[in-house]
Structure 1
Amino acid sequence: MDTHESTFPLIISVDDHTVEPATVWQDRLPEKYRGAGPRIVRAPVKEMTFLGGRFKPVMGAPGDDGPVGDWWVYEDLRRPLTRLDTAVGYDRDEIRLEVITYEQMRPGSYDVPARLADMDVNHVQSAVCFPTFPRFCGQTFTEAKDHELGLLCVRAYNDWMVEEWCGPEAQGRLIPLTLIPLWDPELAAAEVRRNAARGVRAVAFSEIPPYLGLPSIHTDDWDPFLAACDETGTVVAMHIGSSSRMPSTSADAPPAVGSTITFANCCFSMVDWLMSGKFEQFPNLKVMYAEGQIGWIPYILERADVVWEENRGWGGVADKVHRPPSELFAEHVYGCFFDDAFGLRNLDAIGLDNVLYETDYPHSDSTWPKSREVGEAQMGHLDPEVVERIVRRNAIELLGLTDDGLWDGPR
């Protein structure tokens, strides 16, 4: 760890990211599927836009003019690695939407020893990492035509996550987050249990499943999956963008619009969950919102309580939501932030036990390598025991880590 004198606790980040090494699926898929499974191809970009919350890259043919990058190829999908996937180490004004190769990214994005070294620089002890190529909850495999192959890809990713990314080389400092086959809740439940049996305590899910063409949580469709999470103590982790539709206002709105309102889907999603009855149906269920920030939460809880109190009769929730939404939030929901001074000034209205810290390495929003300094500046008004709970203790308790803040590996 770094030797900077500081009383600021070592950070447990509940939202970082991994850029999967090029061989994750080629090393793990059955031989007959490797030609169809995800693989890296180096090729030029023909055109690439990111407007209205939609990312649209077009891969050029070998020999075409244009910047060359590494592309994931899988069925009809052509998805390039971009500077936005791994922007740390670059000046903010130099970060552009451009294709890159593995050689052009910081090695900590995909290499375990290099990641641990970058965590040391940033005063980070442990970290949960969301995917890149599968997207934040495995949408890539859900949208694929061949779901038999898709299931193998989900399992291959999870095996890599548990056995390699979070394997012995990680020294317990990388905390596994696994995927499910979103297209089949029964298979999803089986995958939750398979991974829980080897010590995994978090699974990625979509903030708004209907945006992916999937059932809403107001149906009973997800009950097998939710029951498995409830029984195994597996936290449902939802990252902004896990519905494949970033908030925006129009098809031509610049990315800055969506970047300002990235919390919006988390807000909508949280109201969905609070009004769904699922927290009463599954009393051990916990959900967390990665990169959603926390400053918006107090008003939404106030409004949800008013609606529940005054309008639950005609609002369609009287028969399934029997307690104020704010009480359900306190027992089941966690907000995650990396830069939210307003939220920190309103902790009493959110709940000290419901807040988690993150660094978002290696994305452009990341506070790396100054996450400690950002935290010190924003939490300087708080008592040390409060800071300890936000930066470490809540994550330790939620994710079942050791008292020292480490994942104790497959059990």
Structure 2
Amino acid sequence: MTPNDLIFVSVDDHVLEPPTMFEGRLPAKFAGRGPKFIADETGKGSWIVGGSVESPWTMNYGNMRPGTYDPDERVTELSSAGILGSLCFPSFPRFAGQLFMELDDKELALACVEAYNDWMIEDWAGRHPDRLIPLGIMPLWDPEAMAREVHRISRRGVNTVAFSENPSKFGLPSIYDDEFWKPFWTAASDTGTVIATHIGSSSSLPKTSDDCAMEATGVMIPLNLYGTAADFVWSNVFRSYSPLKLLLAEGGIGWVPFFLERCEISYKARPWVREAYGPKTPTEVFREHAITCFIEDQPGIEMRHLIGIDNICWEFDYPHGDCVWPDGADVAWNNYLSRMPEEEINKITHLNAMRELRFDPFALRSRESCTVGALRASAPPAFEGPVNAGFWDSALGKKEAEWRDTDVAATA
């Protein structure tokens, strides 16, 4: 096997939604109140919904490469990097679509969620079903509406939906509230829908102090999903809804063996814990339900068998700053894949993702055309330069923009 023989499916990328995405998608009664991108004379701006709710992301479509928001260009750029498949989290509505929850008019909010999902199905993933995997967003404030939307988009081929890593941060009930979230868990279980949580999808990031360094927060971000995993393992969710799967996006995997060890110690050391949670150990529960992924994580790769080889997926993170552009496939091969058995390589690079997300590109194209070598040969050479030009690539959005502007001014 050589790098050109590999097949990569990324379970964590991002779409920078185009300014025209809501045109013709909202009921007439919401005319003028739907999401709009408002820019200044330089082209830099942000999305505003309902006239007052503003996205924290700052973008400049005039500077961004079309591959960030155009599905045809995205597929071309993925091909130039040798990447076959891509699951894309939202941007301006935030990673779990929580921006729409801030609207007082929940009828408008629900219409925005439905319109977003229709755009994702028809104009994004629908244009390239062999390459782009649809990801739905949810009306988080209403689990009954969430259940209806899960069923609606499931009928249209959406097998994965975004959810917050910690909904209690929004003032919603935590996942320990069995009755509140029951309609959503039930719908996801009945349809085989994967629940995808991304770091930062609680609109909060870890801080050691109010003035802690931005870099310190960046290092600590995976701790959010450590907490998410703990909540799901120790709540009733997985025990009550056995088909449910949880994708932990962009949290890395190196923490998982330590996390499982801590869970096992707690489980074994206290008889009343075993009585409360039943015969399945935390490790068994985690491996049955959790899907982990990583961009670069050498410690995690070394401990992959402690995690569970069937629980690990690869991610590219296009077009964010963590994306190893354009040679992510080569870096993966040189740093760890070349030392692994072929069966494990295939599971981590694409088979696990295809199975869990019910994504089958081989039904639409030959396997030979899906390899790194074939994809690169079908596209122009990869562009040079930063992949994330024109927008701030962090959930901190405008706050990070201010931080960067201050930092640049201080060093000029």
Category of TM-score, reference length = shorter chain: 0.7 to 0.9
User: How do 1:157-306 and structure 2 match up within 5 A?
Assistant: 157-167=116-126, 169-220=127-178, 221-306=180-265
CA RMSD of aligned residues (A): 1.8
For residues 5 and 245 of structure 2, the distance between their equivalents in structure 1, rounded to whole angstroms, comes to 27
Structure 1 stretch displaced more, 17-26 or 104-113 = 17-26
Structure 2 unaligned regions, length at least 5: 366-412
The answer (yes or no) to whether the contact 1:12–1:124 under 8 Å persists in 2 is yes
Local SS of the residue matching 1:129: strand
Q: C-alpha separation between the residues in 1 aligned to 2:89 and 2:181?
A: 21
The normalised TM-score by structure 1 is 0.84
Select which of 4, 26, 30 maps to 1:29.
26
**CA gap 1:318/1:332 in 2 versus in 1, 3 angstroms:** same
1:70 corresponds to 2:28: no
User: What's the CA shift for 1:261?
Assistant: 1.2
The alpha carbon displacement at 1:37 in A equals 1.3
Structure 2 residue aligned with 1:393: 351
After TM superposition, list the pairs within 5 Å mapping 1:90-105 onto structure 2.
100-105=59-64
> Deviations 1:168-187 (Å, cap 9, x if unpaired)?
x3242100000110001111
Tell me how far apart the structure 2 counterparts of residues 152 and 283 of structure 1 sit (CA, whole Å): 31
1:353-368 matches, cutoff 5 A: 353-368=310-325
AA in 2 matched with 1:274: V
Structure 1: which 5+ runs fail to align? 45-66, 83-99
Offset of 1:8 from its aligned partner? 4.7
8 Å contact from structure 1 (residues 207, 242) kept in 2? yes
Change (3 A) 1:367 1:321: farther
CA 1:312–1:304 in 2, change beyond 3 Å: closer, same or farther? Answer: farther
More strand by share: 1
Q: Does 1:374 align with 2:371?
A: no
Q: Is the CA contact 1:235–1:286 (under 8 Å) kept in the aligned structure 2?
A: yes
The 5 A counterparts of 1:298-317 are 298-311=257-270, 313=272
CA displacement at 1:334 relative to structure 2: 0.9
Change (3 A) 1:227 1:113: same
Q: Give the Cα–Cα distance (whole angstroms) in 2 for the partners of residues 146 and 24 of structure 1.
A: 21
**Deviation per residue, 1:248-273 (Å, 9 max, x gap):** 21222222111111110100110110
CA contact (8 A) 1:210 1:216 kept: yes
Question: Amino acid of the residue matched to residue 160 of structure 1?
Answer: W
- Aligned residue identity for 1:253: C
Contact 1:173 1:406 in 2 (8 A): no
Superposition deviation, residue 25 in structure 1: 2.2
Task: Determine helix, strand or coil for the equivalent of 1:16.
Answer: strand
Q: 1:224 to 1:171 in 2, by over 3 A?
A: closer
Q: Deviations over 1:109-167 (max 9, x none)?
A: 00011101110111110100000011111110112211110000000000000011011
Distance 2:20 2:291 in 1: 34
Structure (1 or 2) with the greater helix fraction: 2
User: 1:42-73, CA deviations, whole angstroms, 9 ceiling, x for partnerless residues?
Assistant: 127xxxxxxxxxxxxxxxxxxxxxx6512211
Return 296-305 or 319-328, whichever deviates more: 319-328
Work out whether residues 337 and 357 of structure 1, in 8 Å CA contact, stay in contact via their aligned partners in 2: yes
Distance 1:160 1:403 in 2: 21
Distance 1:322 1:21, change over 3 A: same
